[in-house]
Amino acid sequence: GGALEALPQGARVGTGSPRRVAQLRRRRPDLDIQPIRGNITTRLSRLNTGDFDAIVLAKAGLKRAGLYDPARDFDLDPMDFTPATGQGQLAIECRADDSLPIEDTVLSSVIDRRLAVVERFFARELNFGCHTPAAVWARVNDRQISAMIDVLKPDGSESLKIEVPVPLAGTEADLQEAMRQAEERGIRAFTALVGADTGAA
């Protein structure tokens, strides 16, 4: 948060995510946000050559590539910059006629899977796509799941962020009840409004 506020007025920031564009504009409407493409090395090179004052990258990707630099890089607060739906979840893909070579519990726990189910449920119900400036972030909070749903207009001028509780060991009916609560707070109507602005189906 502090490092973001330290960027100069009109700083040029690169990101390839419509969600991040909207979130950045919500916090810093003065920033000059421009699209950036390519792998991590390509994007960092454009930062180093001065094309951008800052770029937004996944911390996990930087660490995996051995390029994370705590002296240069700073975190965005997930309470302000809701992570992408499914962020950090791992999977193994294999052919239908093959068995998994390892136990699937190596990659996830029961709680991890439950969080993934909750995030996917809301994203599916609200028809979020990769170009929708929106996300669902589920986390365990006080012995239940707190599902944060964050929907923004592309320019960040308006947004609706709500949290709804879901039982940790809940059923489909519990998810539907949480969706009903979210709808009562206007999430579906606002998502439809954003969809009209972005041309999403």
Domain assignment of residue 77, yes or no: no
> Structure pTM?
0.86
SS3 183: helix
- Same domain for 57 and 112, yes or no, is no
Q: What is the pLDDT of residue 2?
A: 61
Residues in the chain: 201
- Same domain for 58 and 108, yes or no, is no
* Tens of pLDDT, residues 63-122: 999 999 999 999 999 999 999 998 877 777 778 787 766 665 556 688 988 999 999 999
- Please count the structural domains in the chain: 2
- b vs e for 152-188, b when ≥16 Cβ sit within 10 Å of the residue's Cβ? bbbebeebbbbbbbbeeebeeebbebbbebbeeeebb
- Same domain for 121 and 52, yes or no, is no
- Same domain for 108 and 168, yes or no, is yes
- Same domain for 28 and 111, yes or no, is no
Tell me, what CATH number does 6's domain have? 3.40.190.10
Domain assignment of residue 32, yes or no: yes
Query: Is residue 132 over pLDDT 50?
Result: yes
Domain membership of residue 27 as a residue range: 2-64
Domain assignment of residue 112, yes or no: yes
Domain assignment of residue 6, yes or no: yes
Quickly tell me which residue has 């919500």 as its tokens. Answer: 26
Instruction: Specify the DSSP element, H or E, that contains 178.
Output: helix 172-184
Q: Which of 6-10, 130-134, 146-150 has the lowest mean pLDDT?
A: 130-134
Domain assignment of residue 45, yes or no: yes
* Tens of pLDDT, residues 138-195: 999 989 999 999 999 999 999 999 999 999 988 999 999 999 999 999 999 999 999 8
Query: Is residue 33 over pLDDT 90?
Result: yes
* Tens of pLDDT, residues 35-57: 999 999 999 999 999 999 999 99
Please tell me what DSSP assigns to residue 19. Answer: H
- Same domain for 41 and 111, yes or no, is no
Q: What is the pLDDT of residue 93?
A: 76
Tell me, what CATH number does 130's domain have? 3.30.160.40
Q: What is the pLDDT of residue 201?
A: 43
Domain assignment of residue 24, yes or no: yes
- Same domain for 112 and 171, yes or no, is yes
- Same domain for 46 and 120, yes or no, is no
